[in-house]
Structure formats: C-alpha cells, structure tokens
Structure 1
Amino acid sequence: MFKLKGLLVAWLSAVHSFSQKRLSWLLLLSFVVFFELCALYFQHVMLLAPCVMCVYERVAMMGMGVSALIGLSKPSNKWIRWAGLASWGYTAYRGLQLAMEHVGYQFNPSPFATCDIFPKFPSWAPLNDWAPWMFEPTGDCSKIVWQFLTLSMPQWLVVIFSANLVILAVIVLAQFVKPKAA
C-alpha cells in the first residue's frame, strides 16, 4: 500500500515537473495544430463541408492552442502555468459540450432541434468574415459525412476533448505535489 502511494506521488511529482517545461506545452500546441490541419484537410482536400458546429468546435480547439501558447510563454511561472491550465480546461470543456451537442444533432435528428445556419460570432471577432476558408460553415450538422472505426467526426471530438480533460485533471492534481529536485 505504501509502495503504491509512493509510486503515485513520484509519478505526480514527475508530471508536475514536466508541466513546468516548455516541451509539455509544445506537445499540447502540436496536438492542436495536428487536429486543425486534419480539419482543413477534410474540408479542402476531401471536400467535406463544415457545419456551424464544426466551426465552433474548431474555435474551441484553437482556444486550446491559445492555452498552450500561454503556458509556453513561461511554464516555470506558477501564475502563467495556472492561467494556461485554466484556459485549457475551459476551452476543452466547451469543446466537449459543443461536440456532444453536435452528436445529438446527428443521432437524434429533430426539426425542433437544429443547429444554426450562420455562425454567431461576436461583432468584434467575425471569424467567418476574416477567414472564410476556415470559419464559413456550408454543411449540415445532422449529416454524417465521415466515419472512422464506426465513430463520426463529432464523436471523435467527444473522445478528443474528453481525453484532454482527463489529462488536464492529472496535471492539475500534480500541481499540488511538490516536484522532486533535479
């Protein structure tokens, strides 16, 4: 029992130390860039039209990228690291909410529950006007246009955002364990 507790504390201590290094935040940023490039590949190469929910999910993923940039700026600073973690948690949670709503549109279609036709971005950030090649929706939220291992794209996003929240929970827990001196 004590050995298991000691291993857990040592592991969390190593996670805490890793979260203080730029490599950890660079990995998160690389993860986001990879998935954003996948989205653009689906849209511009495979010609799969993104719907409003797809666009919102992209924005949530980009929010995780901004979180990574915050943490990357100075991960050894406790306040900056916590700002990055909090931002990551918020954007991953919002992404999960959006993806789950999108799954609902696909698997429980109803004329009374549909997604918007036009995106509702704030007037100070009309992303679909600034970069229509990335943020202009042209697809239907209820259509399943792609599947991999029997999961649709928003179902995969549920997995991706959920995995982010689980990883984040471990990293946040590790912040309360003192890192071992190198």
Structure 2
Amino acid sequence: MKWFDQLKGDPVGTIASWQDMRWPWALMTVVCVLLVLIAHYVFQVWLYMAPCEQCVYIRFGFLTMAVGGILCLISPKNLVLKVLGYVFAIAGAIYGLKCSVKLSAIHHAVHSDDPAAMFGMQGCSTDPHYPFDLPLADWAPDWFKPTGDCGYDLAVVPDGTQLSSLQEWFINMYNSSDSWYLIPKWKFMSMAQCCELAFGLMLVILVAMAASFLYVRFKRKTA
C-alpha cells in the first residue's frame, strides 16, 4: 500500500501531510458525531438509559472535537483555521478524557464489593456546569441535562411501555450485567472505559499530527 510505504519511509513528513488533507478531519468529525448520536438515540431514547452528569460532559467533549474537525475541513491548509481546529479538538479530547476517567472511577467504586472504594467519591449532580458556563442543559435538555446516576448505565423503562423483542433482548442483556459493557457476558470494557479509549486514541493522533506539523514547519524555516 502506497500510504503505508510513505509512512514507513518518512513517518513525520507523512503524518504532517495528513493535516493538509480533509480525510483525517472528516473521519474524526464523523466518529465524534456518530458516537454522540448513538449515545442519545440508541442508548438514551431506544434503550431508556438515562445519561448521568459525566455522560453529558463526555458528549460535550466529543462535539467540541467535532467543531475542531469542521473548522479544519473548511480549509485544511489555512493556518488560522488549522490552529483553531487543533485548539477545539485537543481541548475537547482532554476534557472528555478527564470526564471519562472520573466516570470510570465512579463505575468501579459503585460496582466494587469493597466499601472503602466509595471513600472520597463524589456523587452525580443533576445541575451540570459546562465550560464558560454554557447553558446547554437549558438549550437542549434532552441532550445535555443529566437524569441518570453515574456508574450504573441501567435501562429504566417507563411503566406501560411496549418493547419490541429486540429492545427487550438488549435491555435484559445490559440489566443482567448491572451496567453497560462492550461484552456484557464477560463485563469487558465499561462505557466509561470505551470513552477513555476513544478520547485517548484520538488525542494521541492529534498530538502526533500537531508535533509533526510543527517539526516540518520548523525544519523548512531553518533549512
């Protein structure tokens, strides 16, 4: 594969060239938006899993990254848009990773048999506080207003709701595990851990791209 040969021959230059293309920014934007849509429409609306405080913060982190991707998509070679895009994308990744780590710690504590695990652990609030005091919970409460408990990820089906057989199967699978897991049978990768992986991976790629861009730019100036 041509791109693999380029990456192997000149990894820094190849990675630096990626940010001048639209595909990496489009990929990041699509992934971030898709994860938020799945969280809202599949888990919250279809499977009745109410989002907790850290969950809505994680949504905000993904959407902040998506804003950064859109800025770079407008003109990938424009330095101003590229810098702004990096600021939004990296800030969103760091913020989302921080919230994911906190949610993972809460999840571990509430599912631990050791009472000491809950020591010093703060509960979830239904009054979220977003960066710059953005009133997202007022603007779009269905998306950014927390209504669930951190660390549980259980489906709470309203009385009288008629479920399809597929809905019932998924709800029973997750509720029997006392939480959401990527593989419920083995309790492998909680929702918080999956978000940690997603934010962490994208942050590493963003930092590698930014560092490669700065290195190549500096090298050209000094050549």
Shared fold, TM over 0.5: yes
Which residue does 1:168 correspond to in 2?
206
Deviation of 1:66 after TM superposition, in Å, equals 0.7
Q: Aligned equivalents of 2:63 and 2:131: distance in 1?
A: 16
Alignment of 1:69-148 (within 5 A): 69-109=70-110, 110=118, 112=120, 113-121=122-130, 125-144=134-153, 145-148=179-182
Contact 1:21 1:75 (8 Å CA) reproduced? yes
Q: Displaced runs of 4+ in structure 1, greater than 4 A?
A: 6-9
% of aligned pairs identical? 29
Whether the 8 Å CA contact 1:105–1:115 is kept in 2: the answer is: no
The CA distance in 2 between the partners of 1:116 and 1:124, in whole Å, is 15
Question: 2:67 corresponds to which residue?
Answer: 66
Q: How many residues align?
A: 174
Query: Distance between the aligned counterparts of 2:130 and 2:201, measured in 1?
Result: 27
Q: 1:154: Cα distance to partner?
A: 0.8
Q: What residue identity is the alignment partner of 2:96?
A: G
- Secondary structure of 1:29's aligned partner: helix
- Name the larger-Rg structure: 2
Pair 1:44 & 2:78 matched: no
How far 1:23 sits from its partner (Å)?
A: 2.1
Unaligned 5+ segments in structure 2 are 1-5, 111-117, 154-178
Whole-Å separation in 2 of the counterparts to 1:9 and 1:111: 51
Q: Please, what TM-score do these two structures have when normalized by structure 1?
A: 0.85
Q: Partner residue of 1:24?
A: 24
Q: What displacement does 1:83 show?
A: 2.1
Letter in 2 for 1:141: C
- Determine if contact 2:126/2:145 at 8 Å carries over to the other structure: no
Cα deviation per residue 1:97-142 (whole Å; 9 max; x = unaligned)?
1100111111124274222232124796321121122112111003
Change in 2 beyond 3 A, CA 1:60/1:123: closer
In structure 1, C-alpha distance between the alignment counterparts of 2:12 and 2:132, rounded to whole Å: 43
SS of 1:151's equivalent in the other structure is: strand
Structure 2 residue identity aligned to 1:146: W
Quote how far apart the aligned CAs of 1:93 are: 0.8
Report the Cα distance in structure 1 between the residues aligned to 2:191 and 2:76, rounded to whole angstroms. 32
Gaps of 5+ in 1: 1-5
Residues in 2 aligned to 1:125 and 1:169: alpha-carbon distance in whole angstroms: 27
Name the structure, 1 or 2, with higher relative contact order (CA <8 Å, separation 6+). Answer: 1
CA distance in structure 2 between the aligned counterparts of 1:89 and 1:170, rounded to whole angstroms: 11
**1:163 shift after superposition:** 0.4
Normalising by structure 2, we get a TM-score of: 0.71
